[in-house]
Amino acid sequence: MELQFLGTSAGTPTKRRNVSGLAVKKVNQKSWILVDCGEGTQQQILHTPLSLVRLQAICITHLHGDHCYGLPGLLASASLMGRTEPLTLIGPAPLQAWLTLTQQVSQLVLNYELHFVDVVGLTHAIEVAGFMISAHPLSHRVPSFAYQLVEIGLPRHLDKEKLVAKGIASGPIWGQLHRGETVTLADGRRLAGPDYWLPTRVARHIIIAGDNDRPDLLAKASVACHLLVHEATYTQEIADKVGPKPQHSSAKMIATFAQEVGLSNLLLTHFSPRYQAQSSGLTIEDIEQEARAYYSGTLHLAEDLAIYHLDSNGHLSQRHFQ
Ligand SMILES: [Zn+2]
């Protein structure tokens, strides 16, 4: 599966980083899921192969503007581009009221249905674009959530040796068993398809968190998780200067958590613009160095438009977007 960041800056965009937006999809599939939609997200999408017509769902982590102000424009553009398929929109309940009002005052009529799902009710997973999606509450100044995506539809393979050993020759019966059907042979034996499937590989399981100052809230969800995408807005030194009010995580906080729960892959994002201002003397390497000091797994600091590939063995690598 692939994750492409459309924005990695916290609060305001910078020349190199837009505000939050992240595309998730299976490799070689055109359908995709958008997590957060800061202002300018649709402009970033124009620099990718992603299509608003093939977008299956939008998941909004919380209602701060840098995570959702791009939504009305993106929805309007999808309509102008000819989208007619319904679109699932998951987020906190006031999102629906805000969009309805925006549609009314700007007389925006969409050519497709929006299926709104209140994130609070998403303790039970729903199926979207080849994933089961569920949500976990976080700690922030407004209700904020992490989305957990578990892939489904893993490739299925027949246990050919077992079939041959039972005297079942290759033919249409193999196809029926592969599809999971129950087959009655000429000699009266009944075979159930699933009994002849090889064990599938482990489904990939990722968590994409919204703003959060309590990484420990994800401890249970992180068991068996292959990848956590989490904010690291500041280094600890700046977090201490700023104080606890903004309710963000430092690189140290999230790296320490990832180390404690044994996460194999950590992708950091949502960096304060002060780390890109030459005048401040602070750089993104400050965040990276701090995270590496507390976490020994595979670590990446997200860049806008970069693609991160999580392979079927759970290895994470970066592909620079061209
Ligand atoms: Zn926020």
Instruction: Encode pLDDT of 6-18 as tens digits.
Output: 999 999 999 999 9
171 and 297 fall within a common domain: no
The lowest-confidence range among 106-120, 133-147, 191-205 is 191-205
When the pLDDT of each residue in the chain is averaged and rounded to a whole number, the result is 94
Is there a single domain that holds both residue 172 and residue 115? no
Q: Is the pLDDT of residue 322 over 70?
A: no
Q: How far is the CA of 211 from the centre of ligand 1 (A)?
A: 5
pLDDT higher at 322 or 296: 296
Residue at a domain's end among 139, 173, 196: 196
Confidence of residue 199 (pLDDT cuts 50, 70, 90): confident
204/184 same-domain check: no
Task: Quote the ligand 1 centre to 100 CA distance (angstroms).
Answer: 22
Residue 278 has pLDDT above 80, yes or no: no
* 116/92 Cα distance (integer angstroms): 10
Find the 210 Cα to ligand 1 centroid distance in Å.
7
Residues 151 and 289 in one domain: yes
| Whether 54 and 42 share a structural domain | yes
For residue 54, give the nearest of 27, 76, 26, 87 by alpha carbon.
Answer: 87
Is there a catalytic annotation at residue 66?
yes
Q: What is the pLDDT of residue 65?
A: 96
Distance from residue 20's CA to the centre of ligand 1 (Å): 10
Q: Could you tell me if 29 and 169 lie in one domain?
A: no
Same domain, 95 and 171: no
Does residue 320 have a pLDDT over 70? no
My answer on whether 143 and 167 are in the same domain is no
Task: Give 74-126 pLDDT, tens digit per residue.
Answer: 999 999 999 999 999 999 999 999 999 999 999 999 999 999 999 998 988 99
Residue 165 sits in the same domain as residue 234? no
Give the CATH number for residue 222. Answer: 3.60.15.10
Same structural domain, 176 and 232: no
What are all long-range contacts of 241-248, with beta carbons under 8 Å and residues at least 24 apart? 244/213, 245/141, 246/141, 247/139, 247/140, 247/141, 247/211, 247/212, 247/213, 248/10, 248/140, 248/211, 248/212, 248/213
Q: Domain total for the chain?
A: 2
Range of the domain at 304: 2-155+200-319
The pTM score is 0.91
pLDDT computed for residue 129 by the predictor: 86
Check whether 279 has a pLDDT greater than 80.
no
The SS3 call for residue 8 is coil
Q: Which of 196, 220, 249 is the last residue of a domain?
A: 196
Same domain? 225 vs 264: yes
Same domain, 79 and 177: no
The single residue of 36, 66, 211, 304 carrying the catalytic annotation is 66
- Closest among 209, 177, 216, 176 to 194, alpha carbons compared: 177
| Distance between Cα 67 and ligand 1 center (Å) | 7
